[in-house]
Amino acid sequence: MFSGIVAAVGHIIHIEPRQDGAGTTRLTVDTGGLELDDVVIGDSIACHGVCLTVIDRNATQFSVDVSPETLRCTVGLTSLGPINLEKALRLADRLGGHLVSGHVDGVGEVLKLDALGDNRLLTIRAPDHLARYIARKGSITVDGVSLTTNSIQENEFSINLIPHTLQSTTLGRLQPGQGVNLEIDLIARYCERLLSYGNAIKQPID
């Protein structure tokens, strides 16, 4: 699990298709200052909101293997460049954002990034099947960043980005038409499951 509080902006510095018969791709990431002293092989790091397993590391770089399915369902992992990084939560860590699983639900499209003084107003179009889970003043993860929605109309929602977020993540570099990884709030996911399951069985509880 993660909190959606980005610890560093790293860079994908090498992409290597693996000859493993499964179509796996190996990424090598420069940490951008993210400390790896407490990271061991097998630990999880969120890369642009995608939970990936460390298979090799040194003091300033780590490598992960990415499946074809993950590459198909996400953006930001198929080219060299900056990515948001966060190590997995420990039980004693503060939950500064919201609970994030690192399992991307869909890819949204950036519509606008408008200046509001020092802030920016980011407008995103979500896939139709995700729009029902996005609520005004609710939580959503965009490229691994925990954010609060300002407004939503049908499948378009807006988010206010403060200067700290713009400086500490890749979101200030977004351009209209660009794709972003979206993960909905876990609470919305479980609420729907509870409601749909209850409607399906329609049996009283003793």
Phi first, then psi, for residue 195 (nearest 5°) are -70, -45
pLDDT at 204: 54
Residues 65 and 56: their CA atoms lie apart, in Å, by 10
- Domain-ending residue, one of 53, 87, 121: 87
Two tokens, residue 145: 């960043």
Which residue type, as a one-letter code, is found at position 138? G
pLDDT at 168: 97
* Of 120 and 189, more confident: 120
Arithmetic mean of pLDDT over the chain: 93
pTM: 0.91
**9 pLDDT more than 80:** yes
For the segment 150-155, the average pLDDT, to the nearest whole number, is 95
pLDDT at 85: 98
pLDDT at 203: 56
Residues 175 and 160: their CA atoms lie apart, in Å, by 15
Q: Is residue 182 part of a domain?
A: yes
Domain that residue 29 falls in:
8-87
109 burial type by CB count under 10 A (0-12 exposed, 13-18 middle, 19+ buried)? middle
3 touches 96 (CB < 8 A): yes
CB burial readout 158-183, b (16+ within 10 A) else e: bbebeeebbebbbbeebeeebbbbbb
Beta-sheet pairing, 156-161 with 179-184? unpaired
**20 pLDDT more than 60:** yes
Our measurement of the distance from residue 152's CA atom to the centroid of its chain's CA atoms, rounded to an integer in Å, reads: 19
- Domain-ending residue, one of 54, 87, 120: 87
Is 119 strand, coil or helix?
A: strand
What does the angle CA 82 – CA 45 – CA 11 come to, to the nearest 5 degrees?
Answer: 15
Render pLDDT for 30-52 as a digit per residue (tens, 0 to 9): 999 999 999 999 999 999 999 99
Residues 169 and 129 in one domain: yes
pLDDT at 188: 83
Our measurement of the distance from residue 88's CA atom to the centroid of its chain's CA atoms, rounded to an integer in Å, reads: 13
pLDDT at 92: 78
pLDDT at 47: 98
Which residue type, as a one-letter code, is found at position 111? L
For the segment 118-129, the average pLDDT, to the nearest whole number, is 97
Confidence class for position 190, pLDDT limits 50, 70, 90: confident
**19 pLDDT more than 70:** yes
Residues 35 and 71 in one domain: yes
Two tokens, residue 150: 């300002």
For the segment 97-111, the average pLDDT, to the nearest whole number, is 95
Render pLDDT for 47-80 as a digit per residue (tens, 0 to 9): 999 999 999 999 999 999 999 999 999 999 999 9
Specify the CATH number for the domain of residue 20: 2.40.30.20
* Of 78 and 190, more confident: 78
Q: Is residue 17 part of a domain?
A: yes
Q: Is residue 135 part of a domain?
A: yes
Beta-sheet pairing, 25-30 with 61-66? antiparallel
Lowest mean pLDDT among 10-14, 42-46, 139-143, 194-198: 194-198
Residues 19 and 55 in one domain: yes
pLDDT at 10: 98
Residues 171 and 34: their CA atoms lie apart, in Å, by 18
